[in-house]
Structure 1
Amino acid sequence: MPGYPVLPEGIAYGGDYNPEQWPEEVWHEDVRLMREAGVNLVSLGIFNWGLIEPAEGEYDFSTLDRVIDLLHGAGIFIDLATPTSSPPVWFRNRYPGSRLVDREGRVIAGGSRHSFCPSSPEYAAASARVAERLAERYGEHPAVVMWHVHNEYGWANAACYCETSAEAFRAWLRERHGDIDRLNAAWGTTFWGLTYGSFDEVEPPRLGPAGQLTGLQLDYMRFSVEAHIANFRRERDIIRRHSDRPVTTNFMIPNCKPMDYWRWADEVDVVANDHYLDAARTDPHIELSMAADLTRSVAGGRPWMLMEHSTGAVNWQPRNLAKRPGEMRRNSLAHVARGSDSVMFFQWRASRQGAEKFHSAMVPHAGTDSDIWRDVVALGADLRKLAGVRGARVTADVALVWDWESYWALELEWRPSIDLAFRERMEAFYEALWREHVTVDFVHPTADLSRYKLVLVPGAYLLTERAAANLRGYVEAGGHLFVSYFSGIVDEHDIVHPGPHPGALREVLGLWVEEFHPLPEHGTVTLTGASAAGTPDAADTPGMTGTIWSERVRPAGARTVRAFADGPDAGHPALTRHDLGAGVAWYLATALPGRPADGGLREVLRPVLDDAGVVRPRDLPDTVELVRRGRHAFLINHDDRPVTVPGVTGVAVFDGTRCTGSVTVPPGGVTVVELDEEAR
């Protein structure tokens, strides 16, 4: 299987190129400007199906040939796409059965991309044909260094509810469950008398009365992921018959909830991701870091590709705020710091028409006499100096457990509280660690955890027996585990583990939960303080305020570190520690905020990190991002004041300055230091 593309050398730099939107004379200007900016890779052909196949079976590659030859002559490499995310209008009209149907049974109109059923046999045949023709023609072209199948699977058609999908779902259920009795057992259909007599009786979870079988809903999500993977796999395998170049598609981590990217990871030759800053956030760079760490983790720690991000504002957020001066550079280099070997944008030149005409680009509507263009050129120069970073890995001592299936299950209807949200807890834990300057990996709950000093489980409502055994084995072997509330509650079918709660984690945590006590809207509970030795002592350290959740914890081997001082569980444990085997398992029975001004979670995690032996900087402001990648240290200052970082000895990559024991990072700046051997 091919790995990361051999070419271009160094950090890949460029973006989506859509020359079909422009007259041919603009193409020559584009190539000249690409060379000026240091662009060495473009994604080409993502939305040109209707141009290369204007009628079924009639192909015209003349325009694509000219563009590829022009780019090749300029030394610019190509990530060549199959344009199958946006079938042509003739396809929709000729094959009306391929149209997307929503949960309410409405046929979704055309006029946009992704308006097709992922299970459509007509789509499968047509997409295979165009992929075959492209691979035959360009599979060995020297400019084509990788292949880009489709675009953002699951963006608008994560699931379809048409009859074609229903039949495909029934076939998938037969394969997964084997016989109808096993399906009934898995879904708990005896409740409300919903037992099926055959697979033919199963319907997709279309819009219906509240309280649909959750096993049905979860299996439909799994089936839908597999439908998209099957479409990718079909095109990938066609390409591999004609080309030895790596094949990928662009993920949307972590902002495409319906796609289980752990399932996708082994299907691509290199993991690629699209990420767009959320302008509504007060600290959007922390979510960016989380996305990059999660993408690197999906890639198994290997280098990955930032396939799309933005130079400035996007077109689709409620308020499309432009990036502040220096923000695009910080964003780009943060992705590189956390494992990306590319910096790519959507798109090269801003469109004059269509839905994304107000999306920023490398060449904006203002042209080259603009701050964005000057920043694009400067970033290209920076990336050329970072060529030595390529291929290096990021290592982490701490892992966060992330499971898309648990994400889905937790947020189905009729949970104990509407405030239970997977991302809310995950981001709270991540932010607390980010502000402690702890670099983290994300892991599936069944992954090998042995190399981590600390593993945190912010929200594993759904946890299989295999995963629970894995966590227990990790602790018994000497690992440190920290679990948040409402974890280990149900199995993969959303059936409650044998009680009492938390059934799957009861033994490793050394406790059981008598009752959940979700808090009312804006409700809070107070926790007692704790001494440095981890015993309750309200006079030693201040208490803290929990939100969302409280529960009646009964220790069964665990000892209480903090207790609830008020609320429905006053006097009962809120934070516990259980020594098991050679390791330790902690449990927190409420939601503490991860933000620094709110205290709470960060304060709780500090002694846990210390106990696990996690080394981290202690004297840096939490506005500074410090990440080690191989022999390079990336220092990103998100403050408007300069910050001096101690303990850094080496050579600053961008200006060649020698750092002897410390380095000062300018306001809003980024400094990358190639560390001396003894400092690594």
Structure 2
Amino acid sequence: MTSSSTFAWPTRGLSYGGDYNPEQWPREVWQDDVRLMREAGVNIVSLGIFAWAAMEPESGRYEWEWLDEIIALLAEHGVAVDLATPTAAPPQWLLAKHPEILPVDADLRQQWPGARLGWCPSSPVFREYALRIATALAERYGAHPAVRLWHVSNELGGGNGRCYCDVSAQAFRHWLEARYETTDRLNEAWGTPFWGHLYSSFEQVLPPRGSGGAYNPGLELDFQRFSSDELLAHYQAEKAAIEQYSDVPVTTNFMVNRGPDVVDYPRWAEHVAVVANDHYTIGADPFREEELAFAADRMRGVTREREPWLLMEHSTSGVVWQPRNRAKSPGEMARNSLTHVARGSDGALFFQWRASDAGAEQFHSGMVPHAGTDSKVWREVVELGAALRALEEIQGSRVEPARVAVLFEDEAAWAFSRGMKPSNHLTYADQPRLWHRAFWNRSVLVDVIPPWKELDGYDLVIVPNLYLVSDEHAARIAAVAERGGTVLVGYLSGIVDESNRVRLGGYPGAFRELLGASSDEFFPLLADETLVLDGGATVSMWSESVRSPEASVIARYGSGPLSGEPAITRRAIGDGAAWYVSTLLDEDGAALLTARLVEELSLEPAADVPTGVEAVRRQGEDASWLFLVNHTDDDVEVVSSGVELLTGAAVGPRVTVPSGLVRIVREVR
């Protein structure tokens, strides 16, 4: 197995390129492609992702000549290859021969051929054919010097995240038997006497089929866990096939974004050599720059003990799968790319190199757009390539340690997002993003991590909507306050245990003792209902009847049925503190509380910048680099001295960051 600490990064300096699909274009285009790649500074491309039919046009008959030719051509022009197993795209001959491999939805409707990832993760038939092509590919190219990275499939789960077919149902039963051993333990974990759902045999268990059903929460959660594990098992099987013939590191591209995710990527991370992510901004999101930073901070939280991560895909401009697909404004592509780099990525890759003229994503932007090189996109692609070359020296450096952590857990998100709740209009990621955004607006760095990650390095740990938590993880969180740190717990945290059973004795069950406060009843607010706290903050969506026998009341409900009752509490624990926020604060309310925490804990930003300007620092053994990303309409001046890498100019004692642009200063120590 290749260790993340022993392999060389696939490119010299930062990686730049994207998905390349030469099989979709005539050969005369290939020469133009490599010439343009050299002009743009591309040094790596992902090859073969959707090319199974081109590699194996008939069962057992391989055609490698075209792939030999394009790999040689790329190598000749100094472009490394991230070679993919093509199993994201089963060929039509396989689907015709074995239609049973197609995924089945919860209403038992089989997916038709033509969609993404058209295969059931539990299918032994698909696994056989997938491993056959992966093995053949690795045997032929495993020692090829141009192949610097292996790429298993593509966005696993991004079309087949949940399959409800009979094969999957049987695999689910085997998974449950391995987890619980006996049906008595299963019944206890799920609380199956409710509605008389006791099982006497694992063969009686079915997936949560049927849309809109009110299923046992334990069943729902375990099916999510099982589905993630099945996809991981498939990744590991293809990875093992590759490693029979190659020592080159193996990865697959995650889809970590605003969450919850299709699979549990933090738990997958240990199985990939380079942790890679695909990220696309949402045009309708008014806080899309913060959401991008949130996703990047989640990636860094996954890789804190590892090498830097890699942005495997994002877009040069518009996409095609949103209701309205906005184009990126001038400079936005570079800001997006360099924000990922600032927050830990050692590169910026795109989907895709050349915009397709056919197929389902024919209007998805590419590095070479439909208009060709006489275009805004192409000019910005060339400029970004030059910028990344100018940043070669930062490759391998790390983002400076954060003092603030926001806890975000996929299992908690699955439990929160499925099943009937007191309010069924809450979205799991809203609270984590609210708190992340409050610190982002102040350029105070935040790691977004799961609760089983090490917490010792953080002065402030925010626990928003951590609906599901184990006793072990709750104790780790409490230990932060006991050692002198600060913990802020948001509503609907610690409500259920790891089996998705409600913790009894009052809410929030896992954190009552830590907080010195609890509630005995939820008071969800109606769609347009708001309340005002006595300090003036407006709250919505949620409220609780809180008692605080061991905590000070910081704010009370100033209106509504809970008027006069505690809304925000704080308990002093030696030199530490534990806060409880029992409602959904608006942006201003979260900003005010964040300002108090920043002052109490002396949380310093990377630089003194106005709202709308990001400041993040990366550190190496002998140097540090300050990234300044200006999302505002005004030029700003920031205190910093050194060499600005994108212009090569000496700066100091202040550097000007023009509107919409990025500046990166190698600082004078």
> TM-score per shorter chain, which class?
over 0.9
Q: Which of these residues, 299, 303, 313, is aligned with residue 303 of structure 2? A: 299
| Contact preservation (8 Å) 2:19, 2:45 | yes
State how far apart, in whole Å, the 2-side matches of 1:28 and 1:255 are: 39
Distance 1:618 1:125, change over 3 A: closer
Q: Which of these residues, 162, 172, 185, is aligned with residue 159 of structure 1? A: 162
Q: Which residue of 2 aligns with 1:623?
A: 612
Q: Which of these residues, 359, 363, 375, is aligned with residue 364 of structure 2? A: 359
For residues 410-425 of structure 1, what are the structure 2 equivalents within 5 Å?
A: 410-425=416-431
Secondary structure class of the residue paired with 1:504: helix
| Contact preservation (8 Å) 1:454, 1:609 | no
Q: Does 1:381 align with 2:386?
A: yes
Q: Which of these residues, 269, 290, 293, is aligned with residue 286 of structure 1? A: 290
Letter in 2 for 1:51: A
Secondary structure class of the residue paired with 1:422: coil
* CA deviation vs aligned residue, 1:201-233 (integer Å, no higher than 9, x gap): 001110067321110011000000000000000
| Contact preservation (8 Å) 1:512, 1:553 | yes
Q: Which residue of 2 aligns with 1:328?
A: 333
**Cα deviation, residue 283, structure 1:** 3.0
Worse-superposed segment, 548-557 or 158-167? 548-557
Letter in 2 for 1:236: K
* CA deviation vs aligned residue, 1:533-574 (integer Å, no higher than 9, x gap): xxxxxxxxxx21111111111113111111111112111111
Q: Does 1:609 align with 2:598?
A: yes
Q: Which of these residues, 95, 103, 106, is aligned with residue 98 of structure 2? A: 95
Q: Which of these residues, 634, 655, 658, is aligned with residue 663 of structure 1? A: 655
Q: Does 1:28 align with 2:31?
A: yes
Q: Which of these residues, 600, 603, 624, is aligned with residue 589 of structure 2? A: 600
Secondary structure class of the residue paired with 2:239: helix
Q: Which residue of 1 aligns with 2:191?
A: 188
Q: Does 1:207 align with 2:210?
A: yes
Letter in 2 for 1:401: L
Letter in 2 for 1:651: V
State how far apart, in whole Å, the 1-side matches of 2:430 and 2:8 are: 36
Letter in 1 for 2:464: P
Q: Which of these residues, 341, 348, 367, is aligned with residue 343 of structure 1? A: 348
* CA deviation vs aligned residue, 1:340-360 (integer Å, no higher than 9, x gap): 001101111111110111011
**Cα deviation, residue 453, structure 1:** 1.0
| Contact preservation (8 Å) 1:78, 1:146 | yes
State how far apart, in whole Å, the 2-side matches of 1:362 and 1:617 are: 32
**Cα deviation, residue 447, structure 1:** 1.9
**Cα deviation, residue 636, structure 1:** 0.7
Q: Does 1:392 align with 2:397?
A: yes
State how far apart, in whole Å, the 2-side matches of 1:150 and 1:51 are: 15
State how far apart, in whole Å, the 2-side matches of 1:202 and 1:396 are: 45
**Cα deviation, residue 471, structure 1:** 0.8
* CA deviation vs aligned residue, 1:2-30 (integer Å, no higher than 9, x gap): 33643310011100000011111110110
Letter in 1 for 2:385: G
Q: Does 1:474 align with 2:480?
A: yes
Q: Which residue of 2 aligns with 1:265?
A: 269
Q: Which of these residues, 157, 174, 193, is aligned with residue 171 of structure 1? A: 174
| Contact preservation (8 Å) 1:311, 1:360 | yes
TM-score by length of 2: 0.97
Letter in 1 for 2:565: H
State how far apart, in whole Å, the 2-side matches of 1:116 and 1:31 are: 33
State how far apart, in whole Å, the 2-side matches of 1:409 and 1:143 are: 44
For residues 473-552 of structure 1, what are the structure 2 equivalents within 5 Å?
A: 473-529=479-535, 543-552=536-545
TM-score by length of 1: 0.95
Q: Which residue of 2 aligns with 1:571?
A: 564
State how far apart, in whole Å, the 1-side matches of 2:10 and 2:530 are: 55
Secondary structure class of the residue paired with 1:291: helix
State how far apart, in whole Å, the 2-side matches of 1:362 and 1:28 are: 16
Which 5+ residue runs of structure 1 have no aligned equivalent? 530-542
Q: Which residue of 2 aligns with 1:49?
A: 52
Q: Which residue of 2 aligns with 1:426?
A: 432
**Cα deviation, residue 618, structure 1:** 8.3
| Contact preservation (8 Å) 1:635, 1:671 | yes
| Contact preservation (8 Å) 1:5, 1:245 | no
Q: Which residue of 2 aligns with 1:315?
A: 320
State how far apart, in whole Å, the 2-side matches of 1:609 and 1:558 are: 21
State how far apart, in whole Å, the 2-side matches of 1:637 and 1:409 are: 38
State how far apart, in whole Å, the 1-side matches of 2:286 and 2:483 are: 40
- The sequence identity of aligned pairs, in percent, is 48
Superposition RMSD in Å: 1.3
Q: Which residue of 1 aligns with 2:665?
A: 673
Q: Which residue of 2 aligns with 1:534?
A: none
* CA deviation vs aligned residue, 1:291-323 (integer Å, no higher than 9, x gap): 111112112353111101111111111111111
State how far apart, in whole Å, the 1-side matches of 2:653 and 2:525 are: 50
**Cα deviation, residue 649, structure 1:** 1.5
Letter in 2 for 1:358: F
State how far apart, in whole Å, the 2-side matches of 1:579 and 1:353 are: 62
Q: Does 1:251 align with 2:257?
A: no
State how far apart, in whole Å, the 2-side matches of 1:401 and 1:6 are: 29
* CA deviation vs aligned residue, 1:473-501 (integer Å, no higher than 9, x gap): 12111121011111111111111112122
Letter in 2 for 1:398: V
**Cα deviation, residue 380, structure 1:** 0.7
Secondary structure class of the residue paired with 1:414: coil
Worse-superposed segment, 5-14 or 305-314? 5-14
**Cα deviation, residue 656, structure 1:** 2.1
Q: Which residue of 1 aligns with 2:638?
A: 645
**Cα deviation, residue 255, structure 1:** 5.0
Letter in 1 for 2:52: W
Q: Which residue of 1 aligns with 2:456?
A: 450
* CA deviation vs aligned residue, 1:212-267 (integer Å, no higher than 9, x gap): 11100110000000000000000111111211111000011125622111221111
State how far apart, in whole Å, the 1-side matches of 2:291 and 2:608 are: 23
**Cα deviation, residue 425, structure 1:** 1.2
Letter in 2 for 1:492: E
* CA deviation vs aligned residue, 1:633-671 (integer Å, no higher than 9, x gap): 00011011101112x121111122222221110011100
Q: Which residue of 1 aligns with 2:551?
A: 558
Secondary structure class of the residue paired with 2:69: helix
Letter in 1 for 2:448: F
Letter in 2 for 1:442: V
Which 5+ residue runs of structure 2 have no aligned equivalent? none
Q: Which of these residues, 374, 379, 382, is aligned with residue 369 of structure 1? A: 374
**Cα deviation, residue 281, structure 1:** 1.9
Distance 1:208 1:48, change over 3 A: closer
Secondary structure class of the residue paired with 1:600: helix
**Cα deviation, residue 38, structure 1:** 0.5
**Cα deviation, residue 112, structure 1:** 2.3
For residues 116-127 of structure 1, what are the structure 2 equivalents within 5 Å?
A: 116-127=119-130
Secondary structure class of the residue paired with 2:12: coil
Q: Which residue of 1 aligns with 2:646?
A: 654
Secondary structure class of the residue paired with 2:487: strand
State how far apart, in whole Å, the 2-side matches of 1:161 and 1:458 are: 32
Q: Which residue of 2 aligns with 1:532?
A: none
* CA deviation vs aligned residue, 1:412-467 (integer Å, no higher than 9, x gap): 13201123211111211111110011111112112211101111011111111111
State how far apart, in whole Å, the 2-side matches of 1:254 and 1:556 are: 39
| Contact preservation (8 Å) 1:51, 1:60 | yes
Q: Which of these residues, 625, 631, 642, is aligned with residue 632 of structure 1? A: 625
* CA deviation vs aligned residue, 1:314-341 (integer Å, no higher than 9, x gap): 1111111111011111111111000000
Secondary structure class of the residue paired with 1:237: helix
Q: Does 1:83 align with 2:98?
A: no
**Cα deviation, residue 389, structure 1:** 1.1
| Contact preservation (8 Å) 1:550, 1:568 | no
**Cα deviation, residue 51, structure 1:** 1.1
